[in-house]
Structure 1
Amino acid sequence: MQTINDTHFQFPGQKNVYKGKVREVYNIADELLVMIASDRLSAFDVVMPKQIPYKGQILNQIALLMMEETKDLVPNWLMASPDPNVSVGKLCTPFKVEMVIRGYLSGHAWREYKAGKRMICGVAMPDGMKENDRFPEPIITPTTKADSGLHDQDISREDILAKGIVDEKDYLVLEDYTRKLFKRGTEIAKKRGLLLVDTKYEFGKTKEGEIVLIDEIHTPDSSRYFYADGYQERQDQGLPQKQLSKEFVRQWLIENGFQGLEGQVIPEMTDEKIEEISNRYIELFENITGQKFEKADTTHILERIERNVLDYLKA
């Protein structure tokens, strides 16, 4: 079974390539972006040494579905998907912040809270909360969008504006779009018997000046889900929540002494662990979308992608 690590395509009109943690984005003639979802696995802003079969296909196809289900609310960059691992869309200039929104006290927010902090990104968190409790209202906790190899950093709305990272007019649009998308994502999750706990959105600006949603949306890499059934009982009894997200990878790494900090060593990922993670991602896909996952042929995966993209660009 082949997986996608690095890609080194040369498409007609190609200007440059941006390599993110788990995606590669090809600029075609300063008009289109071809985004390839690799099978790389990232946690704590570190790319793991081994890839996860079907992970790229899963993330790409969830994002496609969610873009379709939210395009009436917020414009997005997407134009087509010529391959299970590929999205093609409008060239955009990304904003240098990620808009994180949280409906529940989980993950990073909980780790900060447990350490005694009651402010995150300039937003107050109420006293007396337990891990995974629901916030009275969702809170927006932006992060900087770090360059490759660096960690994203929490940042407040005030600092974003004061440093000129985003101007106020645009930032108000980003906040409005973030709240609308989270509300829709919550409604979609509810239909699947899930709770959308937290997520992040990325936005860019087209050459015409329109702010649009870019990258992925409501995937298990960018979002955290709980099963709605039994949520309150688990909270009342102080039990961990049954969740759908990449958090199971983070927890395994933490248990094995790795949180992306200097000097820490990534634990070995055996074939059994890789298969387990792949199967969990398939479970995530089926629960989040309500559809059965159809594995694409990975026999010659890079040749398949190149052929499908070339056919699309020629057309």
Structure 2
Amino acid sequence: MSALTKTDFNFPGQKGVYHGKVRDVYNINDEQLVMIATDRISAFDVVLPKGIPFKGQVLNQIAAKFLDATKDICPNWKLATPDPMVTAGVLCKGFPVEMIVRGYLCGSAWRTYKSGVREICGVRLPDGMKENQKFPEPIITPTTKAEIGEHDADISKEEILARGLATPEEYAILEKYTMALFKRGSEIAAKRGLILVDTKYEFGLHDGEIYLMDEIHTPDSSRYFYSEGYEERFEAGQPQKQLSKEFVREWLMENGFQGKEGQQVPEMTDEIVRSISERYIELYEHITGEKFEGDESEGLAERIEQNVAAYLK
């Protein structure tokens, strides 16, 4: 199985390209973005040395489905999906924050809580909570949007407003959209036997209006638990069965890597790569209720180039 880890296209009207951790974003005439979901995978803000077959297609197709399924809540950037690994959409000026919303205490929030901290991003947390416990109401814990090579950092609503990263009016809309999108995502997940545990959203301005940008409700931006057995596992203090990228982070931590200086990424064997690919496909099929149709041909780059060029005509 082939994986697309690098792109270097020259599309009609191309003004520039931004190579992110996992996405390559092409600016077309300062009007549209062509976002290619590559098969690169990152964890702890580090791009791992091997690509994961079908990962880009999984992320792109899940995001496209959720963008369509939530456009009644707020406008979003998507115009078309000219290729299974590509979304084209309107160019927005992004807010330099990510809106992270959490329905349950787990992941980095649990690690912080376990260390004794009771306030995250200005949100006060009750004492006596356990790992994977549901919050009385979902909480928003924003982070800054890191520059390349830097880590995202927690930030409070008060700091966002004090630093002028959004106006009070804009932030009120960001909060409203975040909660409404999370509610919709949770409802869709519940129909599929899943719990949407936490996720992140990115927003930007287009013609003075706030738009949802980037991906939404994918395994890279979200964490899902299986509903079945959640209560039993929680009561027994056992780890939850989950569909997210957390299993990649756990594998890295077990092998002594957390993205810290001097640490080496463990060897990514063919078996590990295949198992990660299978987990991504599993999430796609669970969350969409559809069979995944992967293109196993070698010429991924050629296919993308042809499809995007045809779309831009």
TM exceeding 0.5: yes
Q: RMSD in angstroms over aligned alpha carbons?
A: 0.7
What residue number does 1:100 align with?
Answer: 100
Runs of 4+ in 1 over 2 A off after TM superposition: none
What residue number does 2:52 align with?
Answer: 52
Secondary structure in 2 matching 1:216:
coil
**Structure 1 residue identity aligned to 2:260:** L
Secondary structure in 2 matching 1:263:
coil
Q: Distance in 1 between matches of 2:74 and 2:191?
A: 21
**Structure 2 residue identity aligned to 1:9:** F
Q: Distance in 1 between matches of 2:7 and 2:94?
A: 22
Do residues 218 (structure 1) and 217 (structure 2) align? yes
Query: 1:296, CA displacement in angstroms?
Result: 1.8
Matches within 5 A, 1:232-271: 232-271=231-270
Q: Distance in 2 between matches of 1:87 and 1:121?
A: 32
Query: 1:3, CA displacement in angstroms?
Result: 1.4
CA displacement, residues 206-225 of structure 1 (integer Å, 9 cap, x when unaligned): 1x111110100000100000
What residue number does 2:127 align with?
Answer: 127
Kept in 2: contact 1:3–1:298 (CA 8 A): no
Q: Distance in 2 between matches of 1:178 and 1:79?
A: 21
CA displacement, residues 29-83 of structure 1 (integer Å, 9 cap, x when unaligned): 0111000000000101110011000000000000011111111111100000010
Q: Distance in 2 between matches of 1:298 and 1:31?
A: 32
What residue number does 1:171 align with?
Answer: 171
Q: Distance in 1 between matches of 2:311 and 2:198?
A: 35
Aligned residues: 313
Matches within 5 A, 1:125-204: 125-204=125-204
CA displacement, residues 149-169 of structure 1 (integer Å, 9 cap, x when unaligned): 111000101111111111211
Do residues 26 (structure 1) and 26 (structure 2) align? yes
Kept in 1: contact 2:2–2:296 (CA 8 A): no
Do residues 282 (structure 1) and 281 (structure 2) align? yes
Q: Distance in 2 between matches of 1:171 and 1:268?
A: 43
Q: Which runs of 5+ in 1 are unaligned?
A: none
Matches within 5 A, 1:111-126: 111-126=111-126
Q: Distance in 2 between matches of 1:299 and 1:24?
A: 19
**Structure 2 residue identity aligned to 1:178:** T
Query: 1:2, CA displacement in angstroms?
Result: 2.3
Query: 1:148, CA displacement in angstroms?
Result: 1.3
What residue number does 1:5 align with?
Answer: 5
Kept in 2: contact 1:118–1:126 (CA 8 A): yes
What residue number does 2:62 align with?
Answer: 62
Q: Distance in 2 between matches of 1:125 and 1:42?
A: 29
Q: Distance in 2 between matches of 1:262 and 1:289?
A: 39
Query: 1:302, CA displacement in angstroms?
Result: 0.3
Kept in 2: contact 1:25–1:36 (CA 8 A): yes
Secondary structure in 2 matching 1:51:
coil
**Structure 2 residue identity aligned to 1:12:** P
CA displacement, residues 122-175 of structure 1 (integer Å, 9 cap, x when unaligned): 101111000000001100000000011111000101111111111211111111
Query: 1:297, CA displacement in angstroms?
Result: 3.9
Q: Distance in 2 between matches of 1:36 and 1:238?
A: 40
